[in-house]
Structure 1
Amino acid sequence: MDESNIPIDINIGKLQDWLVSRRHVHKEWQKNIIAVREKINSAIQDMPAHEDIAALLTGSHINYFHCLKIIEILKETEADTKNLFGRYGSQRMKDWQDLVRSYEKDNLYLAEAAQIFVRNINYEIPGFKKQIAKEEQMQTDCEKKHSDYLKNEASSKSEFMALCKQLGIKGDKIKRELVERLQELPEIYDKIGESLKPLQPAIDLYSAFTKYILGDQASDLLPLLQYVVQHGNTTVYQWSYGEPPLSIEPDPIHIELEDDTQGSGDQIDFGDSAVIDFESADVSAEIDFGDGDAGGEIDWGNIETVTDVTAPDAAPASPAESGMAVRAAGGGARGRDALSVLDCAHTRSRFLDQLLELESFLKMRLCETHAANESQSFSLIEQLPSESAAALGAMLGAVQAAAAALLAPRVAQLHNVKHSPRYVDVLTGQLQQKLSACDKARRRAAREAERARAAADRAAGLRPLLARLLSRTQQLQADIEREISKKYKGRPVNIIGGVKFL
């Protein structure tokens, strides 16, 4: 085999050592390259305006091969300085020709080119690739976070809209809309009171059962429930005294509405200075129900004797039982007496308790009926008017429907808004918290979208730089292989681990 055709393979990691060991470059070549670099820095200060020269001087480290190209360009730009002997009078040309001679001394150019080539392969190109991969990963992460924040925003918005729909408001001015919805409560309670007629058979059955068990000891059962079934949702005054009031003067509810954006800072004033707890059964606190001073005694009108209707075990069904004197000419309903039975927190609670009592009885009788039918055993139900399981189920369904209507979330929330000074703030705060979560998720999503765009822009800006570096490194590899080949009579030279291996 012809020796001139045997390739010379040089590993990139041993390229510089190979050049030193083969005595192509001096071992301490780096000391001499300093002077050359200083000459280059001085020479580039005075360069003609030329596109190719600008391209060579931009974005790369000037090396020997760039100097050769610059000299070729200067042959065109400095052609008018050429004399009869073929020499150039231009100082620019002289400077660059001197640079090339300095590079060629002791093959200094080859050592520097090898160093630049190895640094590009081992550090510069991988660094660019790593940075681009980092930006792309950041873009992916930000896009994922952007999607998650949008989902969180949609979830919070959905919860907000569901709660607003439940309350029957739009959500633009939360507290104002909540207060406006209070006007619907009387109509809602009246409809509930009118829908209780189907409960009468269940009440009759419960009364018959109780009389059968207790005999003469049985007292009137479920007085408030029976009253509402028969008379509807009247005022507490009519329930207490057995006659409708001549006038109704409910306590004014003074609500100071500020900007809804202030959230829990809004306050509801239910009186001049009184603090009313409608959930408590004890009304011994000082309450102003009329024109008297705050802290005055309760004015019930011309009543000779009054029993404590708020005691936990008291359930007056009539004026005679309560010990109250009936007003012959009637009177005016003021304060709590002016509220309806289902609206007043105290009577509402008693109504629900009695409704629950009736429901429990019907469930017990229904279970007993099923057990009696299965075992054919004696049952107390045989001593009562016959009630089938279907009839008992219908009664139970009517009771449960009444309880569900009164305890519906929308009704309960509006009731609390009216009777609890702080509940409206709590409810408003919950709704505003949902809106705040939406706004926060929206802002975070926008921020992540901006970060994703910035990362994409940085990656896009790095890709052309990487492509140019790859191209110049590939050209530098070809130049080094060609120069080494010249020293071995044209034998092919291959640098293993170069650009094509990246």
Structure 2
Amino acid sequence: MQNELDIPIDIHLNKLLDWLTSRRICPHDWQKNVITIRKMINSAIQDMPAVDEIAQLLAGTYINYFHCLQIVDILKTTESSSKNIFGQYSSQRMKDWLEIVKLYEKDSIYLGEAAQLLIRNIVYELPSLKRQLMKAQQTQEECIKKEADYAKNEHAMRENYATSCQQIEIEGKNIKKELLSLLDDLPDALNAISASAKDLVHVRNYYVSFLNFTLNRDAESICVPMLKHIIEKGNTTTFEWRTGEPPEVIEVTTPVIPLDVESGSTDAADDQIDFGDFGAHSESGDDRSSSSPNGDFVHVDKEECKPDNSDQVDFGDSEINWDISVDTSASISVIDSPGSNEGSKVARGVDALTVLENEATRDAFYNDLLELEAFVSQRILECESSVSDALSSSIFHNAPASLQIQSVESFRKMENDVKNIASQLMTTKLKHLYLIKSSSRYVDRLVDSLKSKLETAERMVECQKAVKIKYQEAVEEQRSLKPKIDLIVEKTKILLNQVEQDISKRYKNRVVNIMGGLSALQNITH
């Protein structure tokens, strides 16, 4: 039969207090006596000898009964001179601590306090510190990730800004001044397009011949008239297009560059683009389809450029949207066919604009290019189809030689020539210039749109700085928590062993195991 002394006493940590009170080791009301003892300890600790051993003993821990025993042992050495012939100490320090030990040992109150301290440290305080430590580590990981995201977003916005400036062909140092100075390049650019349009004469001639043969009538006057006008006469005034005769006098109002070009706003009267007579005969602000040179532009609004307050920021496409409302105070004059001479040879307002500066005539030119491109593309499809090839052979049997000798390669060259002129007319830079010339407020909108990219990049820099500060705070918190946790774990292990040994002495030195104590401490340290 197994000896009773060999059977260990297993006590669960959460049941330790109940176990002590149920076996009458300490009373149920032990806590009210602890209050008196704590007051005496707080008073006695104010008058302690300058001994490193005592300072190390009391550092970073809650003073309990076992600490008091160690303090008494130390005082026996430091206060030995106060011992009288009867073996009693006359030192008040020793008397105070001996009284504290005596009160602790009455009804084993110290065991109740030690059990409560074990439960508080293992079940509550250490897990809470562990969670703070893990949160600090998690904060560091999040800060590293956020800093990388902010740096990526900053780079993306600066690249977006550089790309936008490159598309508009400005440096981006003084945005407003550079945008307004681009207006000087508009006439030369449009004249270059006009000169390039002369290369399409063979494509238009083929188109006219095709219509003459298929319609069996002269199509010269109805076939892409604006393209014909530009090929024959170049980028003339709108007046010459309308009347068929060049004007004798051209009254042009040149836009005035604002004096305050550093400012991003043109709210002041002196900081406006002066469009003169253009305001009375402004270009159409009607919505255009994607086939229009100014079609499908998105309104550029400053509020839309502001990012939200989330960590992960979405920067979208680098393209600048085009759908803006153009200031108009009157509708565009109707494009009359050439020859409608009104008797006046003075070109003013819209009539003073060239046909490629005028939105309506520019749209007509662009539509002519699209019509020509669609015609050539269709001819390519017909030539590549065997069924259509047989049908075309029968239809064009009596056609002029110029219509029969064309090949797929020649049609593809025609198509590329037309697309090349259309692409020159619709570059990003020219789209901006069209809008700058037609809207006095578009410059401010474009400036705000570009500046918002740099402002967003600067905000990303500030966010990176804030995240770095937060990261350092988390590192410092981790550094302060780690030694604190290690100290409490070490002291708690000592207290756990002392309680087990004290209970063991009461039961003939049987082995006592406080379950859930040491294992919990090991889990916290790992």
Please give the range of the TM-score, normalised by the shorter of the 2 chains: 0.7 to 0.9
2:97 equivalent in structure 1: 96
1:360 corresponds to 2:406: no
1:383 equivalent in structure 2: 399
Moved more, 387-396 or 139-148: 139-148
Aligned residue pair count: 468
- Aligned match of 2:334 in 311, 314, 330? 311
1:464 corresponds to 2:465: no
2:252 equivalent in structure 1: 250
In structure 2, the residue corresponding to 1:188 is in which secondary structure?
helix
2:21 equivalent in structure 1: 20
1:116 corresponds to 2:117: yes
Q: CA RMSD in A?
A: 3.2
One-letter amino acid of the structure 1 residue matched with residue 202 of structure 2: P
Measure, in 1, the Cα distance between the counterparts of 2:117 and 2:267: 69
Q: State the TM-score, normalizing by the size of structure 1.
A: 0.83
Report how far residue 4 of structure 1 moved: 4.5
Measure, in 2, the Cα distance between the counterparts of 1:325 and 1:207: 32
Name the CA shift for 1:193/1:257 in 2 (closer, same or farther; >3 Å). same
One-letter amino acid of the structure 2 residue matched with residue 397 of structure 1: N
The 8 Å contact of residues 250 and 348 in structure 2, kept in 1 or not, is answered as yes
1:439 corresponds to 2:462: no
Q: Equivalences for 1:80-159 in 2 at 5 Å?
A: 80-159=81-160
Q: Equivalences for 1:364-375 in 2 at 5 Å?
A: 364-371=378-385, 372-375=388-391
1:280 corresponds to 2:281: no
Name the CA shift for 1:37/1:84 in 2 (closer, same or farther; >3 Å). same
1:348 corresponds to 2:362: yes
1:302 equivalent in structure 2: none
Name the CA shift for 1:214/1:28 in 2 (closer, same or farther; >3 Å). closer
Measure, in 2, the Cα distance between the counterparts of 1:381 and 1:165: 53
One-letter amino acid of the structure 1 residue matched with residue 357 of structure 2: D
In structure 1, the residue corresponding to 2:284 is in which secondary structure?
coil
Kindly provide the CA deviation profile for residues 453-490 of structure 1, in whole angstroms up to 9, marking residues without a partner as x.
32332233222211111111001011111212222333
The 8 Å contact of residues 265 and 444 in structure 2, kept in 1 or not, is answered as yes
Q: State the TM-score, normalizing by the size of structure 2.
A: 0.79
Moved more, 243-252 or 41-50: 243-252
The 8 Å contact of residues 278 and 346 in structure 1, kept in 2 or not, is answered as no
Unaligned runs of at least 5 residues, structure 2:
287-331, 522-526
Name the CA shift for 1:226/1:370 in 2 (closer, same or farther; >3 Å). same
The 8 Å contact of residues 161 and 450 in structure 2, kept in 1 or not, is answered as yes
In structure 1, the residue corresponding to 2:63 is in which secondary structure?
coil
The 8 Å contact of residues 240 and 246 in structure 2, kept in 1 or not, is answered as yes
Measure, in 1, the Cα distance between the counterparts of 2:233 and 2:254: 26
The 8 Å contact of residues 225 and 355 in structure 1, kept in 2 or not, is answered as yes
In structure 1, the residue corresponding to 2:451 is in which secondary structure?
helix
Q: Equivalences for 1:100-499 in 2 at 5 Å?
A: 100-215=101-216, 218-220=219-221, 221-236=223-238, 250-256=252-258, 258=260, 262=264, 265=267, 268-271=272-275, 275-276=279-280, 278-280=282-284, 310-312=333-335, 314-316=336-338, 321-323=339-341, 335-371=349-385, 372-375=388-391, 377-380=393-396, 382-384=398-400, 385=402, 386=404, 387-499=406-518
Kindly provide the CA deviation profile for residues 253-292 of structure 1, in whole angstroms up to 9, marking residues without a partner as x.
123254656457576422458625642299xxxxxxxxxx
Name the CA shift for 1:119/1:429 in 2 (closer, same or farther; >3 Å). same
In structure 2, the residue corresponding to 1:255 is in which secondary structure?
coil
The 8 Å contact of residues 8 and 513 in structure 2, kept in 1 or not, is answered as yes
One-letter amino acid of the structure 2 residue matched with residue 366 of structure 1: I
Moved more, 425-434 or 367-376: 367-376
Name the CA shift for 1:391/1:326 in 2 (closer, same or farther; >3 Å). farther
- The structure with the largest alpha-carbon Rg is 1
Name the CA shift for 1:276/1:141 in 2 (closer, same or farther; >3 Å). farther
Kindly provide the CA deviation profile for residues 19-69 of structure 1, in whole angstroms up to 9, marking residues without a partner as x.
223332223222322221221122122222333333333432211111112
Measure, in 1, the Cα distance between the counterparts of 2:224 and 2:114: 104
Measure, in 2, the Cα distance between the counterparts of 1:443 and 1:186: 43
Measure, in 2, the Cα distance between the counterparts of 1:360 and 1:311: 26
Unaligned runs of at least 5 residues, structure 1:
283-308
> Among the aligned pairs, what percent are the same residue?
39
In structure 1, the residue corresponding to 2:279 is in which secondary structure?
coil
